[in-house]
Amino acid sequence: MTRKACVHNLGCKVNAYESQAMQQLLTGAGYEIVPFAPGADVYVINTCSVTNIADRKSRQMLHKAKKMNPDAVVVAAGCYVQTGSEKLIEDGTVDLILGNNRKQNIVEALDEFYRSRTPSADIIEINRTKEYENLSINGDSDRARAFVKVQDGCNQFCTYCIIPYARGRVRSRTPEDVLEEIKVLVSAGYKEIVLTGIHLSSYGVDFADRKERLLDLIKMTAEIPGVMRIRLGSLEPGIITEQFAAELSKIPQICPHFHLSLQSGCDATLERMNRRYRTKEYAEKCEILRRYFDRPALTTDIITGFPGETEEEFEASYRFVSDIRFFETHVFPYSRRKGTKADRMDGQLPEHVKKERSNRLLKLDSERRKEYASSFIGCEAEVLIEEEVTCEGQRMLTGHSKEYLNMLIPFTKSVAPGDIVKVRALRFAQDLHCNLVGTII
């Protein structure tokens, strides 16, 4: 009898990639993949631990899985396993525990459990390994955009972040493995490749006997026939140099969409966060990108209400974000995380202050998104079609430009998801925030 398995993902794009890889391993072993609903024989929860709230949600999902089928095998995998293994081991809900760098063993772990019916935990000291976990994907039903994980771990130790303890030190995947996976994805029909990792800018710094870095990997990816677009995951400002931007601008497949992590626009706050740059340097990096690319989409993350953030410091951060004129700003009220230096800092702010400051930045973000998108009205853009939607009461196709602007065009049978078409943006959509409606040209 075929066993039914569900893989439920929590957290970041890297987690999503690893969940897809585990799902494909299970499929290859004969499991039928089913939705997260009652009736599965196996529930794999790929957990997140970026905040205390993420920890709590991970526990809740594990308990929910067991309630949906008390006889099912519940597997806890991922970051919360690394940071909260003692609690999980004591929790009778979980049958199998797989830490980071052990997800590749999902099938073998399940086989052993069915033989012995004995709960087990496979957790390594993640901070002591130099091994990159050998996971890969070959695609699924979506043939437009594929995320490819090329790096794991982080050496930065920002004071608010638990990820270096959950993911370990920087470990890079060999270019040969990366390129082989991309070739498989392109042969399956994918047009856009998104290179991603926990700390993407550090790609290759751990190589002992080779010199490839992120720019080299990007260039090699661009040489693969069929790669129409290359998009980059989150970058640290330090990687942006004149040479880096100049070389990227020569690669026609590069998407001019750069997510540069900021976290605060105040130097005093950045110092408390243990960020490795200051606002003057960050602004210079944005100017470099704007010199080499026409209207690049610059996006970022901001934390509001970090311990000790005064009203003056927040105002400085707000002004800096306003002056940079980002396309998108992802705003997060500071969330305490046990095990981090920031959790032990004085000056913890009340939730209502964090929320008020977040709301101000969210309002600014809404204005800037519309401002940036409006600059493309009347212009041509190449749009990668992703799916059919209903908007303004009619069937439409939607996709993203290289800048990651969401575009809608009237439905036509001559265009299918996965196609890249030239579109002229005409106006804003009536019922979708800052999305543009256009026509094929």
The CATH number of whichever domain residue 358 belongs to comes to: 3.80.30.20
Q: Quick one: CA dihedral 203, 207, 213, 219, positive or negative?
A: negative
Residue of 135, 244, 110, 141 lying closest to 196 (CA atoms): 135
pLDDT 10s digits, 241-283: 999 999 999 999 999 999 999 999 999 999 999 999 999 999 9
Q: What is the DSSP letter of 24?
A: H
Residue of 165, 154, 225 lying closest to 190 (CA atoms): 225
**With the CA atoms of 160, 163, 165 and 171 taken in that order, what torsion angle do they form, in degrees rounded to the nearest 10?**
-140
Q: Is residue 130 part of a domain?
A: no
What pTM does this model have? Answer: 0.94
Q: Quickly state the pLDDT bin for 141 (edges 50, 70, 90).
A: low
Q: Is residue 96 part of a domain?
A: yes
Same domain, 368 and 388: no
Query: 132 phi and psi, to 5 degrees?
Result: -90, 125
Same domain, 66 and 204: no
- Pick from 327, 350, 374: which residue ends a domain? 374
Same domain, 240 and 274: yes
pLDDT 10s digits, 296-310: 999 999 999 999 999
Return all residues near 9 (Cβ < 8 A) that are at least 6 apart: 15, 16, 19, 46
Same domain, 359 and 436: no
Q: Is residue 368 part of a domain?
A: yes
Q: Is residue 137 part of a domain?
A: no
Q: Is residue 140 part of a domain?
A: no
Same domain, 325 and 215: yes
Q: Quickly state the pLDDT bin for 432 (edges 50, 70, 90).
A: low
Same domain, 319 and 180: yes
Angle at 42 between CA 50 and CA 198, to 5 degrees: 25
- Pick from 72, 90, 124: which residue ends a domain? 124
pLDDT 10s digits, 88-124: 888 889 999 999 999 999 999 999 999 999 999 999 9
Cα–Cα distance, 342 to 77 (Å, whole number):
26
Residue of 61, 90, 333, 78 lying closest to 198 (CA atoms): 78
Q: Is residue 321 part of a domain?
A: yes
Q: Is residue 136 part of a domain?
A: no
Same domain, 388 and 271: no
Query: Percent helix, strand, coil in the chain (nearest 5)?
Result: 35, 25, 40
Cα–Cα distance, 67 to 93 (Å, whole number):
9
As beta bridge partners, residue 303 has 332
Answer whether 217's CB lies under 8 Å from 150's CB: yes
Q: Which two tokens stand for residue 405?
A: 């602007």
The domain tally of the chain equals 3
Domain CATH code at residue 69: 3.40.50.12160
Same domain, 214 and 327: yes
Same domain, 160 and 260: yes
Same domain, 163 and 287: yes
Range of the domain at 270: 145-374
Q: What is the mean pLDDT of the chain?
A: 96
Instruction: State the alpha helices, DSSP H only, in 126-202.
Output: 163-167, 175-187
Same domain, 366 and 400: no
Cα–Cα distance, 225 to 207 (Å, whole number):
27
Cα–Cα distance, 144 to 353 (Å, whole number):
41
Give the gyration radius of the chain's Cα atoms: 22
Q: Is residue 132 part of a domain?
A: no
- Pick from 71, 94, 124: which residue ends a domain? 124
Query: Is the pLDDT score of 406 beyond 60?
Result: yes
Strands 257-259 and 229-232: unpaired
Same domain, 357 and 395: no
Length of the chain measured in residues: 441
